[in-house]
Structure formats: C-alpha cells, structure tokens
Chains A and B, each alone.
Chain A
C-alpha cells in the first residue's frame, strides 16, 4: 500500500468522528434553544381536522362529547388525554388546573376504568370543562396518541393546530400554546 493511500485511510476515523461530533454539537445547542427535543413525538394529525368520534362520559361528571360538539365550539379547546394509572398525569394535574383558568380543557380518559378515572379527576378538583371516556383506546388511535399524557390544541371548527407529548405546565402554556391562541 502506498503512503498516500495509507494517509487517506488513517484519516477516515477522525473525519467520521468529526462528523458525529458536529452533529452532536448541533443537537445539544438545538436542545438548549428548544428546537431539538429527542423525546418529542411528531403527530401526523397536526394541521388536519379532528377525527370523528362519540364517547360516553364518566360517572358523576356529566355526558361525554362528540367531534361535532368539539367542532361547534367558538373558542379554542385544549384536548388532554390522561389516565389514572399514569404517573406523569398525576404530576400534570396542578399545571392543568392553572391552565384551565385561561382556556377550556376537555379531558379524555384513555384505557381507564370509568370509576377509576372519575375518582382520579375529582381527587383535587377537576381541571376539565368536559370529560369523556375512551375505555378501549379506540379514539386515541384515530388521534395518533402514542401514550399519556398527550394534548392537542383544537381551533374553532375542529382543526388540530398543536400537539404536545409532555406533561403540561404553565411554562409550556406560555411558550407554546398562548402564542398560537393569538392568531385565532
């Protein structure tokens, strides 16, 4: 093997490592600015109208709701999928209660026994304007939910304009949701 070829071959590892390094650096700086979130889940339904559904309510918490009722709203609605068995959902509750002072939140209990979900919602005061039960997770599949908690911002008329896959808190509301409300 001649010297030039050897030189080129031995330079391959550092070039590879350099490319990886630059990539990692970009990821880290984007993570700090919020542009890159490895835990984020892209929902393909963002920008599309909500799927059609009809769900029953939870015991003691009124009737459920349908896609027609959601579309008929004149204000944007935050739709939140939750479950009583989900620890981040427990952590999310105080944040949801704070957000509910600014805008209506409609809850959907995902794969949960109605009595458990009802008890969970009422434990420290419900943040939800309306609650429905998706007992077997069928509606969640149509919405493209991959786990709980996940939330969707639905514009009047029923178009999904934002999706979040983390437990919500007032910071996320201020940074992600409120700016979007202004344009509606």
Chain B
C-alpha cells in the first residue's frame, strides 16, 4: 500500500499531471477557452495528492526500516528514534528535493483553494507556471536523484544519520526554510502570468502581496531557526558565519522583503509596477539558484551536501529555462507596462522606494561577496575567501539609513507629506532614541554598535508611537481608544510588529558584538573569571548514552560569590559514525546567555586537565526573538489581507441578494 514502488509510481504520476497542468491552462488561456483554463485547479490538487502520497510512501519506508531503499539504508538505522526516522527523510539530498516539490505542489493547491476570487484566466496561468516549475523539479527528482532507488542485496541495518542532524531544531528547519524559498514561487508565477497578460494593476498588487508575505514569514522563521541551530548545536558561539549556504537564504530574504514593500506601492498607488514584477522574478530566481549552488558543490561551504556535478548540470539547465525564460519574457513585455503618477520624495511611497534601494544594495553586496571567490578562481585562477570583515564593512553602513527610514516611513502619509507635521508625531520616539543613545554609549563599545543600537531603539519607539497615535492614546477616551484599536487595520498592527521585531533583532546583534569568550585549560576545582563571573569546573564524569559515549562537565558560575547556575556541557562520541559532537550548555535570563562548551581531556591522574570554552553573550536570544516577532507581524498583516480580498466578493454577493 505504501511501498517504495507505489511511491515511485505516484511521483511519476505527479510529474505527468504537472506537465498537463503546465500545458493545458496556458493553451486554454490563449484560445480563451474557459473549460481548459478551469481544469487548472483540479490538476493542481490532483498533483498535490499524488505527490503527498509519494512522500508518505517515503516516510513509511523509513519508519518500517525498509533498507532495500538506498536512501533509507544510507541515512537511517534500526536504532534511530522514530521522530528522526521521519524527519531524516528530508535530511538528505533526495528526500529534500522531494520535500521541495511537495511544498511547491502545496502552494499550487493553496492557490487553487484560496484563489477563487482571482479572474479565471489569471489563476489558470499562475497554476500553469507553478505546474511547469513542479514538473521540472519532479523530473530532476526522477532522473538524477530518485529517493526510491533500491539496493540489492538489502543491508541488515542502515548506516545511520549524521549525529549533528539528530536534533529537533534541525529536524523542522528544512520544511520551514523550504516553505519560505518555495513560497516565493507564487509571486513569481503571478509576475510571469502578468507579463503574459501584459497587465499589472492595483488588483494584481493586492493579490500577490499575501503570498509574498506568507513566504516571507516562513523564510524569516527559517533563517532565524537556522541561525539558532548553529548557535546552540555547533558550539562555536557564533550565530552567523556569512557562509555561502547562509547567504543563499539571506539573498532571497532581502529581495523578498523589498518585494513585500514594493507591492504595497503597486496596490495603493499603481507605481513601481515593472520593478515589483522584477523583484518577484528575482526573489524566486535567487531561491532556486541558492538551491543549485549549494547542491552543485560550486560554493565552498561548511554545510556540505553530497556534491555531484552531474546533478549540477541538470539543475543549471532547469534554472536556465525557468530564470532565463522569465527574464526574457520580462525584457520583452515589461517595457509595455506603463506606470502612473510621479512620486514626491517625502511621502510614504518615497520612503518605500528608499527602502527598496537600500535593501537591494545590501542584497547586491551579499551577492557580490558570495560569488566573488568562485568567479575569481574561474577567471584569474586565484583562490581567495571573502569573510565577515567585508560583509560587515559593506552591509552595516547601508543598514543604518535603512533603520532611520524605517522609523519615519510608517509615520508618513501617502502622496505628499508635510515634514513638520510628520516630525511632530515623532518627537516622543526621537526622545526615547536619544535616551537609548546615552544607554548605548554606556553599555556598548565601538561606533557602529552604538549607532545601530540607538537606531534600533528609534525603530522600536517610532513604530510603537505610530500605532499609539493612530489608536488615539492621549487624546481620546478609553472607549474611543478601544473603538479605534478594533478598526485599525491588521496590516498596520502587522507592520508595526514586524518593524519592532527588526529593531529587537538589531539590538540582539549589537549585544552580541560585545560578546566575550575565553578558552581555558583547567584542573577539576579550578576557577577562572570572565567578564565579572567566576566559572568553576566542579567535576567531570563519563556516561554511556543510547548510541554514544559522553563526557559531561559540571561548571558552576558565580557572580559576586552568589551561585548563578550550574552548566552541564557534554562531549559525545558516536561510535558507529566515529564522529564527535559537543552539547553546548546555555543558561539564559533573556538578557545574557552564559554559554559553556567542554573540549578535550589532557593528561592522566592528578594532572588531568580539561579544555573549556566559556562565552558571555549579551542579548543573544533577542536576535531570534526579533525574527519571531517579525514573522508574527507578517502573519498579522496576512490575516488582514485575506479579509480584504474576500470583501469585494462578499459585497457583490450582498448586492445580489438585495436585488
């Protein structure tokens, strides 16, 4: 019922359905044949069902320890806990590609189900584009990385999973991150459909925005989760390494953030149309290229996937068709899209343009830094690496004006703003930011951290005061405030929350710039001090876990003689994979993380010493908390959009009933 052969067949069936989903509605839309176009949602849902079945089969193979399946034999083992047998399905190349296409099919299904208010032709074309991309990736799956490949004879037990991946955070990281990546396929499909149709208007902006916001929320969560994972699992004390794989997720996030903002201008002012279409294409193109670069082995990354240049050639061909095709269409059709209205620089739309310029500049910096080493090696034959100093030096100066504008932007009205009036709304926020600046001078060192910290406080204060002003705090009665709160659009709440989240993240980054650490070699009972705290190694003992041997240390931390906490970092040796992992111990009070790692044991008997790594990380949890707040803000504005999209239809229905 749920065997590998059924799964393989369902995958092939889904691929065929996706091809039909690509061809029929496009052809129907050209002939203006409503019946053919109307098939698109049914095809999309059937494709989703077939692919879901196929994915379920792969999960069942892993759960039932069917080691005749190559993928299960290579990545699972009888002794693996059930949760990791399931999540291990997408912890490898083949399974993750299948998950990737499944999420794409879910997006198609969602457009079919939630897109009933779209014009039929537009919906048909959007689904056709999604089907085409789906078909390409399913073919990639079937032809070069088949998750259902068999081995004969089947081994008695599997090879097990990389112990680093045996972690709940990482188990759910790929689905969330992929949903973010793949979710941008929907705005992409909308953009391509609009180019085919030759029309982009306010309605298009209103339709495309919720999809972009939804994908953006997932991508934000995915990046935050990935960064958190590298912080507490890898045990290096760092949270972002400007590694190509991390950049591959940051680049679409930056253009996606720009897209989410520029689509507002399309919706409200019918401006920035060509630009928004380009951003929609670019964001998905960057998502796709990120996947390609990581898996082809071109980029030298610590997060190594099994590299295979043959696969790389296939994906590159796929990219050439998807990205090349859409950009060629863009070059051909975009000049005919006309823009209306001129912008005054001091207005809401003006500030959104500034936001887009800055975000895209940061994106250009990250793309350059990521692509420079391989291209330098190709063209000049020299190996170089681009690291943190370049990225910090180039991105932070662009982030400063972005933060400054974030505070002002939401306070500006559309069309034309009066500066004096706008600034009168921002006095309170500016005052708080000034206090924040003093606080930053006192607590932080370095010009950039101080500037970033003060601006982050400015963003939080300005966003909060904007909402408070709109709901009439201070000049309306309690009753009136409540009424206004209810009527303030959810998108305003969402924008304020998302901006506050960004401020919190930046504060966390500023705090982390002041992190202190020490690597010490101590005997049992010895005390070392770090930034005002005394760290004492109390004891070290060995124990045996389910599939590893562990060495656990007890480290007491005292502040002015008072016990703060006892940390229990571990070092685990996984015997089957001959791999060692460190289990970091973290004590947090949400202001400061105390972070301990135990390393090697040296010597024997009385002379035994242990290497410990001690970190004091101020405001570390805020970085990920801010990401979560940003995503919640996005979800909030999403709940508003959905209602508003439905509104004209409901109004029409009401009118019909009345008539």
**A residues at B contact (CB < 8 Å):** 3, 6-7, 10-11, 13-14, 17-18, 20-21, 23-32, 36, 38-42, 85, 87, 90, 113
Contacts and interface: CB of A to CB of B under 8 A. Distances in A.
Interface string B279-296: 001100100010011001
Given A21-B319, A24-B316, A28-B316, A38 B374 contact: yes
Contact of A28 (B282, B285, B309, B377): B309
B331 A11 contact: yes
A38 B327 contact: no
B324 A14 contact: yes
20 contacts: A6-B335, A10-B274, A13-B331, A14-B324, A14-B330, A14-B331, A17-B285, A20-B289, A21-B323, A21-B324, A24-B293, A24-B298, A27-B298, A30-B378, A31-B309, A38-B298, A38-B373, A38-B377, A39-B300, A113-B602
Contact of B312 (A7, A14, A28): A28
For the complex of A and B, the 8 pairs showing the least CB-CB separation, nearest first, are A14-B327, A6-B335, A10-B334, A11-B331, A31-B309, A38-B300, A32-B309, A10-B331
A72 to B, nearest CB: 33
Contacts of B383: 40-42
Contact of A27 (B320, B378, B579, B600): B378
B335 A87 contact: no
Nearest to B293: A24
- Give the most central of A17, A30, A39, A87: most B CB within 10 Å: A17
A16 to B, nearest CB: 9
B278 interface: yes
Interface residues of B, number: 40
Given A6-B335, A10-B274, A11-B331, A31 B375 contact: no
A31 B324 contact: no
Contacts of A32: 309-310
B489 interface: no
Nearest to B333: A10
B647 interface: no
B298 A17 contact: no
- Give the most central of B278, B334, B335: most A CB within 10 Å: B335
B559 interface: no
Nearest to A13: B327
Contacts of B600: 85
Contacts of B297: 31, 38
Nearest to B367: A20
A42 B328 CA distance: 39
A28 B327 contact: no
B612 to A, nearest CB: 17
B564 interface: no
B298 A31 contact: yes
A26 B371 contact: no
Interface in B372-395: 373-375, 377-378, 382-383
A36 B328 CA distance: 30
